Amino acid sequence: PGMTVNQAIALAGGLTERASRDKILISREGQKNQHENGNLNSRILAGDTITIEQRFF
């Protein structure tokens, strides 16, 4: 079983106060220039890159 975005964030030390919980992008290894929208419950695979946008306030 894979890990969720939320679990990966927790392992990395958590979200900052400026992080947007609604704007999460997942880049899959081997798929250049392709991103998929994710959420905190999205499953991730080995080699995935998670990008979390920041919110303004």
Average pLDDT, the chain: 91
Taking the model in full, what pTM does it have?
0.82
Tokens of 44: 């991730």
Distance between CA atoms of residues 26 and 36, nearest Å: 5
Boundaries of domain holding 43? 3-54
Number of domains the chain contains? 1
What's the average model confidence in pLDDT over 25-51?
Answer: 90
CA distance 31 to 19: 25
- Quick one: average pLDDT of 28-53? 90
Percent of the chain scoring above 70 in pLDDT: 98
pLDDT confidence of residue 16: 94
Q: Sorting pLDDT into bands at 50, 70 and 90, what band is 32?
A: confident
Instruction: List, as one string, the DSSP characters of 2-25.
Output: -EEHHHHHHHTT---TTEEEEEEE
